[in-house]
Amino acid sequence: MSLKIYNTLTRKKEKFIPLKEGEVGMYVCGPTVYNFIHIGNARPFIIFDIARRYLKFKGYKVKYIQNFTDIDDKMINNAQKLNVTVSELAKKFIKEYFIDADSLNIRRADIHPRATEHIKEIIELVKDLEEKGYAYEIDGDVFFDVSKFKSYGKLSGQDIEELKLGARVEIDERKKNAIDFALWKKAKSGEPSWESPWGKGRPGWHIECSAMSMKYLGKTLDIHAGGSDLIFPHHENEIAQSEASTNKPFVRYWMHNGYLCLNNQKMSKSLGNIMKVREIGQKYKGEVIRYFILSAHYRNPLNFSEDQLQQAQNSLQRLNNTIFNIKHQLTQGKFKESRDKDDEIILEKRKESRQQFIEAMDDDFNTPVALSQLFGFARELNIYLNSPGLKNKLVLEESYEFYKEFANEILGILKEVEPEESFELEIKNLIKEREEARKVKNWEKSDQIRDVLREKGVILEDTPEGIRWKKIK
């Protein structure tokens, strides 16, 4: 079985073959740190976090890079508005980004490079492009000459001539072609700037990704990922800059996720129809948000609504119940040695679900189908767990392992429950009290205790093997 990835460049699913056997270099376009991230920003971070985890599962050694854009117009404008320096603004929102990312179980990249910490590499690259004749300077600004790069438009399927006609860009009359883009921008007064061969200035937007990705991953990356809105012009321009400089393919597999919409419109800061991760997090756990994101294939559009989150929460609850129930049986401490037909069925079913989960993920990270395997196995397992008699320990452990590996390690949608000693003691005492009441069929008292515990966020479940309790929220 082999992994297939949809490549935007070829518009086909392709077998994934990294440049170096067993190793993957992956770069994901990160946030511009001028504000809190919204759920639409979070989609690629979650999706590609999972792609990365899955690649690791497949045995690849993955080097994962996600940048922070910490210098551009939005940074400058927002810093002015808030009356802080650009660097202070960046510092704050990088911190906020990590708070949000952590809440969503998004693992840290191996490196989180920042544009302002790679000015030297950026200048080198621009200089190289200028020397090779792909770039030209006009009065402190440096532009990329698109007409010199023959395959411009190959990623987005755009034709240079059409682009020129349709250019909505403010035409800078000094540029050779309307669609030439800035590699280096001359400093305006009051803006942060760096010394360069062209005078004081700052990098253009596209150049940082080329410079930083190649610095950490080499001239050819295995995977470069981001939202579909980056295909043009951002990634198109990255290809032009990088390949013009190195004369080597810049990226083997381009991955782009579909938009997250609100009321069927793309969620974006400029439209103002955004839901910040921080806001949603007040009401829903990160695992729920992740589940919601995974419920659709990453390339399809996904519409955000509170109703959807509620559905995600309910769905996830079902999985959590099953996992909780396995754990409960495991802590009972009594098992049978033998393995009969029912045990074998579970082990067989586990094997099947495992295989199908992998098949789904191999098919361009088809998480909705992968999720369905978690549910399919849960049904079989619930039947087993509810059947009378002792259970086989190995079967329970293997089943638990299945969810730990797939739901937790790869998808990251499992909730970690941390015990609180004092709280548990109080609960245990109440449960004991209720058991006494139940023995003498004092239903009134036992129901009352159950209600009290519910108030405290504890659900009691009477099972043939004894009381099972769990915390909610």
Partner RNA sequence: GGCGGCAUCGCCAAGUGGGAAGGCAGAGGACUGCAAAUCCUUCAUCCUCGGUUCGAAUCCGAGUGCCGCCUCCA
Would you state the structure tokens that stand for residue 413, as one six-digit string? Answer: 């949608």
- Site for RNA (CB under 7 A): which residue of 104, 129, 207, 371? 371
Provide the minimum distance between the beta carbon of 402 and RNA in the complex, in angstroms, as a whole number: 15
Residues 44-63 that bind RNA (CB under 7 A): 44
Q: Select 109 or 260, whichever has its Cβ closest to RNA.
A: 260
In DSSP notation, 266-299 reads E--TTTT---BHHHHTTTS-HHHHHHHHHTS-TT
The Cα–Cα gap between 399 and 376 comes to 13
Of the candidates 144, 302, 281, which has an alpha carbon nearest to the alpha carbon of residue 227?
302
> x/- binding map, residues 136-155, to RNA, per CB under 7 A?
--------------------
- Per CB under 7 A, which region of 225-233, 240-248, 396-404, 414-422 contacts RNA? 225-233
Q: Select 19 or 369, whichever has its Cβ closest to RNA.
A: 369
Place of tokens 């009381």: 467
- Site for RNA (CB under 7 A): which residue of 46, 51, 260, 289? 260
Q: Select 27 or 60, whichever has its Cβ closest to RNA.
A: 27
Of the candidates 439, 446, 372, 451, which has an alpha carbon nearest to the alpha carbon of residue 406?
372
Provide the minimum distance between the beta carbon of 132 and RNA in the complex, in angstroms, as a whole number: 23
Would you state the structure tokens that stand for residue 364, as one six-digit string? Answer: 């361009």
Q: Select 300 or 429, whichever has its Cβ closest to RNA.
A: 300
Q: Any contact of residue 359 with RNA (CB under 7 A)?
A: no
Q: Any contact of residue 98 with RNA (CB under 7 A)?
A: no
- Per CB under 7 A, which region of 98-106, 115-123, 133-141, 157-165 contacts RNA? 157-165
Q: Select 372 or 408, whichever has its Cβ closest to RNA.
A: 372
The Cα–Cα gap between 364 and 314 comes to 26
Q: Select 127 or 450, whichever has its Cβ closest to RNA.
A: 450
In DSSP notation, 311-349 reads HHHHHHHHHHHHHHHHHHHHTT--EES---HHHHHHHHH
Are residues 115 and 208 in contact, defined by beta-carbon separation less than 8 angstroms?
yes
- Per CB under 7 A, which region of 40-48, 246-254, 330-338, 419-427 contacts RNA? 40-48
- Site for RNA (CB under 7 A): which residue of 55, 109, 125, 163? 163
Q: Any contact of residue 427 with RNA (CB under 7 A)?
A: no
Q: Any contact of residue 173 with RNA (CB under 7 A)?
A: no
Q: Any contact of residue 411 with RNA (CB under 7 A)?
A: no
The Cα–Cα gap between 47 and 365 comes to 9
Of the candidates 427, 403, 400, which has an alpha carbon nearest to the alpha carbon of residue 328?
400
The neighbouring-strand residues paired with 137 are 142
Q: Select 53 or 297, whichever has its Cβ closest to RNA.
A: 297
The Cα–Cα gap between 28 and 256 comes to 10
Q: Select 138 or 459, whichever has its Cβ closest to RNA.
A: 459
Q: Any contact of residue 391 with RNA (CB under 7 A)?
A: no
Q: Any contact of residue 376 with RNA (CB under 7 A)?
A: yes
Q: Any contact of residue 228 with RNA (CB under 7 A)?
A: yes
Q: Any contact of residue 229 with RNA (CB under 7 A)?
A: yes
Of the candidates 181, 170, 167, 186, which has an alpha carbon nearest to the alpha carbon of residue 210?
181
- Site for RNA (CB under 7 A): which residue of 19, 111, 160, 296? 296
The Cα–Cα gap between 132 and 121 comes to 17
